A and B are shown apart, each in its own frame.
Chain A
Amino acid sequence: MKKRKEQKELSTVMTRRMLMLGAGQGVLGALLVGRLYQLQIAQSEGYRRLSDNNQFDRRLVQAPRGRILDRKGRLLAGNSEVFELRMLPSRISNHQAWLKRVSRLITLKPEDIEAILEKITEQPKFLEVTVKSNLTQRELSRLAVLSPVLEGASFQKSYKRIYPQGWMTAHVTGYVSPVNKRDIDGEPDLPYLPETRIGRTGIEHNMEPDLRGLFGFERVEVNARGKPVRVLRDQQANPGADAYLSLDVEAQSFATERLRRGRWQAVPVQMPEVQEALLENEELRAHVSMGDDLVLKDEKGRLVPPESGAVVVMDIYTGELKVMVSTPSFDPNLFSNRLSVRDWQRMNEHPRTPLLNRAISGLYPPGSTFKMVVLAAALEAGVITQKTRINCVGAFEFGDRNFHCWFERGHGLVDAEQSLERSCDIYYYQIALKTGINRIHDMARRLGLGDVSTLGLISEKEGIIPNRDWKLEKRGVVWTPGETVVAGIGQGFVLTTPLQLALMTARIANGRSAITPTLTTPQMTEASPSFPPLDVSPDIIRFLHKSMRKVMAGGLGTARKHDINQGMAGKTGTVQVKRITKEQREKGIIDNIDRPWKERDHALFVAFAPYKNPRYAISVIVEHGGSGSSAAAPIARDIMDFMLKSDGVSA
């Protein structure tokens, strides 16, 4: 009986416990449902986004950058397809061993491998890492043979900016370099991709918005191993627009070589004496290490690098620049991918600053090429007439200073035309004084000096054309008449760029319109009506033409040996870079060629041609090249001859 009761009790306990366990299950089951509700209903939105992120790899499609072409469609900057090797870390068990294996096929420096390994640890394993971009044909074929057994390797096509003309047009095209953090800060929409390139200088910088094109967007559906499954194009990539330049590569090439050679003789770089000179001559070494093998021998038998300087040739009706040379130059291809430290140092430590575009950023006193400005200003002001004569005795005393003429014995009695022909300094000291600096300033500005041009190139300098206000504002002291005297021969405060001197010459040659230079858009119509009038009297223009012609054709013209068949009108300029002291003058001035290079005079020459029917204006500057007539004028003559001859061929 008792046993039965106990049995019954036990049964009740069991039932109770079964119900308890059931209830426990119910509670836990409800917990699961609650959790599902939380994930699938309450937080669904957020998880959906995460799922989309998984599913789609949003990426930008590189748009090929617009090409840069010369006036005849010859390539100055283009894109070459390059292949890069990428690795998928999640597919590779031992990254170090993998990279080691690959480094037997392609060049990989230890620091590259280290950087890659670091990158692998930084990002999710299913994202690809670039191992090497810009694979050579040989590397590509080596890798291709092994790719079936090279687990986790893939090849990607991309574009590399190339400059087939290399350093010859480097200052015009400029260069591009990879996008950096600062670019993104300034332009948040810019895609921050390893293949994004930004134009830094020259046309590449100036026309960046047109050249860059529009990046495309696509969503690549990727699986968990990072393998693309499907591509959705949200926005087609739009290639950048091509830029047609007014430049003529043939003329540019001729002008470059002509300027570089100067008056000297080329010497083969392999010659033992060159090799010897390289050991001791640092400047020569810096030059040759840039990959240039032109070495010259000057009149004293010394081995020297090519001349540095600038040449600008401008169409006097359209303002188109057909030649814009600055030497020494650099290879813009070096910047397209990450510039190596060594290359950067070579360019930066080069004593002749190859990165400086002398044509627009090089500032030089115009010297005697400024005399047209002073003469025109004086004639316009009426302080002289075309007949006014001044007696040159080799020096001009003003205040307590003696101002010397370059021709120490003195020119004797010269009129206005002869003053330009023979470049008499005394004449200009005196008429400058009479005209006053403000009127000279005014004429200089009208002829295109002292301001940045319409080219819009970065780093273009405006130069200095002083007047009274400028002095007071910049220096805080009043203008003194002595300063007008030196300004009269284009020295003192006056600073111009080779581009400005070409523009000045072009405006004088044109005579009617205040043309402006252009590099990019060829302006097809002559005497384009869009230019404002020059506002210099035709009489004065005619007189300047005649006088400049005398420089070339007159019996005593400073450039009389350097005329061309079609006839050229020009002006020499020789610019002192170091003041000649009284003692030096008494001891006798040391010959230019015997001074250290840095202390030699700059040689300048401006001209237009043909004289009867002007077409081109040119400015040449040879840094520390000696006198304008001996160093710069022959270069200008040859280039102008080339220009006119090739026009004749094409006509």
Chain B
Amino acid sequence: MILGILQLLYRLPWLLLVSAAALVLIGTLALYSASEGAWSPWAERQMVRAAIGAMLLVVVAMMPTPWLHRLSYWGLAIAILVLVALPFIGTGTGATRWIELGLFNFQPSEPAKLAVIIALARYLSGQTPEQVQSLVSYLPVILMLGIPFGLVLIQPDLGTSFMLLMGGLAVVFAAGVPRRFLVTGVLAAAASAPILWSQLYSYQKARIMTFLNPEADVLGAGYQITQSKIALGSGGLFGKGFLQGSQSQLNYLPEKQTDFVFTMIGEEFGFVGNLVVLLIYFAILVSVALTGLRCQHRFGRLLCMGISFMLFLYIFVNVGMVTGLLPVVGAPLPLISYGGTAMLTVFLALGVVVNIALHTKLQDSDFY
């Protein structure tokens, strides 16, 4: 028994867990600063959510891996059902994205990303080598990916839907989809881009245009990006100090507690502070990738691949957005940004990774 526990402790991906804890701590401090040095309204609630998230992580990590395998399609089915129902039960300004749960606003598109990855990992890991080469066998993939993508896109939520799509495609790519299908897919996507553009809402177009030329509209959509760059840049190497970020504390920086929290960290702790945060993320990504490489079953490998790419996308899109490399699409910074759903989704995903790390010796055949 004691030996079992020790074995379990030994197999735990410590780097991942410690890094996640560090990020939660940094996030809490950032939110404390974002409310001008106060625990309410954000920091204290963030801690409560992190605690709930940690419990979810433990639950997911401890469940037998085959359960995960078995539940995967159900998960996707539920995610799709909720997305379909969202227009009738959800709320949101301009776009219907949330369900008010009282404790927090639940954003179904976030766990949907994870559900898509798990479901795809299950389906693709079950493919025989012949099926991998067969176009027909990818029809379910297109449905599993296309339906949630379409549902999120029409909410409308351009950013999340693309992140969902990219996360799923990463799994497909990792599963070994033949190169010819990849090339065809990319060409098809390129051809449909103009059609998609014409279907975009004007604010979405504006955001993309703003991204291309933020200075043209300093007080409108470009305002956020301009102020974010000013805040980051004025932080310099070591930053202005904790609670001393004038851009953030004087409210020039919009959404500093959610999407622009990285900017706030940059203003108060400078290049060094930002680099530390990115290094911790790097540690998590490496840890997830190593877990995947060590894993002997394809389901686990694809899951790790998908989850690592999903996490990477969160980070890249968020940091790219606040530094003005990408358009403002509304992507949270995992475990740091204030926001319940994204945080719980990341904890669930990390739970999946820990689960796999604990059961690397399983074989593909064990799932059937």
| In the assembled complex, A577 has its CB within 8 A of some CB on chain B | no
| In the assembled complex, B247 has its CB within 8 A of some CB on chain A | yes
| In the assembled complex, B232 has its CB within 8 A of some CB on chain A | yes
| In the assembled complex, A383 has its CB within 8 A of some CB on chain B | no
Between A and B, 11 residue pairs with Cβ closer than 8 Å are A7-B129, A9-B129, A17-B174, A21-B174, A39-B323, A40-B266, A44-B235, A51-B247, A55-B247, A221-B246, A225-B251
Question: Which of B231, B250, B301 is the most central at the interface, judged by chain A CB atoms within 10 Å of its CB?
Answer: B250
Known: A15-B293, A21-B170, A25-B285. Contact between A54 and B250, CB under 8 A? Answer: yes
Per a CB cutoff under 8 Å, which of B129, B219, B236, B274 touches A10? Answer: B129
Question: Which of B237, B278, B319 is the most central at the interface, judged by chain A CB atoms within 10 Å of its CB?
Answer: B319
Q: Measured between C-beta atoms, what is the minimum distance from B131 to chain A in Å? A: 10
Q: Report chain B residues within 8 Å CB of A36.
A: 232, 266, 271, 274-275, 278, 319, 323
Further pairs besides A21-B170, A32-B278, A51-B230: 16, Cβ < 8 Å = A14-B175, A14-B302, A17-B174, A18-B292, A25-B309, A29-B312, A29-B316, A32-B320, A39-B323, A40-B266, A41-B236, A44-B234, A48-B236, A51-B233, A124-B218, A224-B250
Q: Is the pair A54, B247 in contact by a Cβ cutoff of 8 Å?
A: yes
Q: Measured between C-beta atoms, what is the minimum distance from A27 to chain B in Å? A: 11
Tell me the bound Cα distance from A50 to B235 in angstroms. 12
| In the assembled complex, B39 has its CB within 8 A of some CB on chain A | no
Closest to A13 in B: B176
Per a CB cutoff under 8 Å, which of B232, B274, B305 touches A18? Answer: B305
| In the assembled complex, B229 has its CB within 8 A of some CB on chain A | yes
Known: A18-B292, A44-B237, A222-B250. Contact between A50 and B309, CB under 8 A? Answer: no
Tell me the bound Cα distance from A11 to B298 in angstroms. 8
Q: Measured between C-beta atoms, what is the minimum distance from B250 to chain A in Å? A: 4
Q: Is the pair A48, B234 in contact by a Cβ cutoff of 8 Å?
A: yes
| In the assembled complex, A146 has its CB within 8 A of some CB on chain B | no
Tell me the bound Cα distance from A94 to B282 in angstroms. 48
| In the assembled complex, A35 has its CB within 8 A of some CB on chain B | yes
Q: Measured between C-beta atoms, what is the minimum distance from B164 to chain A in Å? A: 17
B114-130 residues at the A interface, CB under 8 angstroms: 129-130
Q: Is the pair A224, B236 in contact by a Cβ cutoff of 8 Å?
A: no
B204-242 residues at the A interface, CB under 8 angstroms: 218-219, 227, 229-237
Q: Is the pair A35, B316 in contact by a Cβ cutoff of 8 Å?
A: no
Closest to B319 in A: A32
Per-position contact with A for B260-290: 1 when CB-CB < 8 Å, else 0? 0000001000110011001000100100010
Q: Is the pair B232, A224 in contact by a Cβ cutoff of 8 Å?
A: no
Closest to B311 in A: A25
| In the assembled complex, A229 has its CB within 8 A of some CB on chain B | yes
A32-70 residues at the B interface, CB under 8 angstroms: 32-33, 35-37, 39-41, 43-44, 46-48, 50-52, 54-55
Per a CB cutoff under 8 Å, which of A33, A40, A54 touches B252? Answer: A54
Q: CB within 8 Å of A: which residues of B?
A: 129-130, 132, 170, 173-176, 218-219, 227, 229-237, 246-247, 250-252, 266, 270-271, 274-275, 278, 282, 285, 289, 292-293, 298, 301-302, 305, 308-309, 312, 316, 319-320, 323-325
- What are the 8 A-B residue pairs with the smallest beta carbon separation, nearest first? A47-B233, A51-B234, A6-B129, A40-B271, A223-B250, A224-B251, A13-B176, A55-B246
Tell me the bound Cα distance from A17 to B171 in angstroms. 10
Tell me the bound Cα distance from A508 to B219 in angstroms. 74
Q: Report chain B residues within 8 Å CB of A3.
A: 129
Q: Report chain B residues within 8 Å CB of A223.
A: 250-252
Closest to A31 in B: B325
Closest to B252 in A: A224
Q: Measured between C-beta atoms, what is the minimum distance from A68 to chain B in Å? A: 43
Q: Is the pair B176, A17 in contact by a Cβ cutoff of 8 Å?
A: yes
Closest to B237 in A: A41
Q: Report chain A residues within 8 Å CB of B274.
A: 36, 40
Question: Which of A25, A39, A43, A221 is the most central at the interface, judged by chain B CB atoms within 10 Å of its CB?
Answer: A39
| In the assembled complex, A73 has its CB within 8 A of some CB on chain B | no
Interface residues on A, range: 35 or more
Per a CB cutoff under 8 Å, which of B129, B170, B246, B325 touches A51? Answer: B246
Q: Report chain A residues within 8 Å CB of B218.
A: 124
Q: Report chain A residues within 8 Å CB of B289.
A: 18, 22
Per a CB cutoff under 8 Å, which of A18, A28, A41, A55 touches B250? Answer: A55
Q: Is the pair A18, B132 in contact by a Cβ cutoff of 8 Å?
A: no
Q: Is the pair B316, A28 in contact by a Cβ cutoff of 8 Å?
A: yes
Q: Is the pair A14, B174 in contact by a Cβ cutoff of 8 Å?
A: yes
| In the assembled complex, A125 has its CB within 8 A of some CB on chain B | yes
Q: Report chain A residues within 8 Å CB of B319.
A: 32, 36
Known: A3-B129, A36-B271, A44-B234. Contact between A18 and B174, CB under 8 A? Answer: yes
Q: Is the pair A51, B231 in contact by a Cβ cutoff of 8 Å?
A: yes
Q: Report chain B residues within 8 Å CB of A13.
A: 176
Q: Report chain A residues within 8 Å CB of B292.
A: 18
Closest to B170 in A: A21
Q: Is the pair B271, A41 in contact by a Cβ cutoff of 8 Å?
A: yes
Tell me the bound Cα distance from A51 to B305 in angstroms. 41
Q: Measured between C-beta atoms, what is the minimum distance from B281 to chain A in Å? A: 8
Q: Is the pair A44, B236 in contact by a Cβ cutoff of 8 Å?
A: yes
Q: Report chain A residues within 8 Å CB of B309.
A: 21, 25
Closest to A28 in B: B316
Q: Measured between C-beta atoms, what is the minimum distance from B333 to chain A in Å? A: 12
Known: A22-B289, A40-B233. Contact between A33 and B174, CB under 8 A? Answer: no
Q: Measured between C-beta atoms, what is the minimum distance from B224 to chain A in Å? A: 11
Q: Is the pair B237, A221 in contact by a Cβ cutoff of 8 Å?
A: no
Q: Measured between C-beta atoms, what is the minimum distance from B311 to chain A in Å? A: 10
Tell me the bound Cα distance from A50 to B234 in angstroms. 8
Q: Is the pair A46, B323 in contact by a Cβ cutoff of 8 Å?
A: no
Q: Measured between C-beta atoms, what is the minimum distance from A345 to chain B in Å? A: 41
Tell me the bound Cα distance from A13 to B219 in angstroms. 50
Q: Measured between C-beta atoms, what is the minimum distance from B268 to chain A in Å? A: 12
Q: Is the pair A18, B293 in contact by a Cβ cutoff of 8 Å?
A: yes
Q: Measured between C-beta atoms, what is the minimum distance from A124 to chain B in Å? A: 6
Tell me the bound Cα distance from A46 to B219 in angstroms. 19
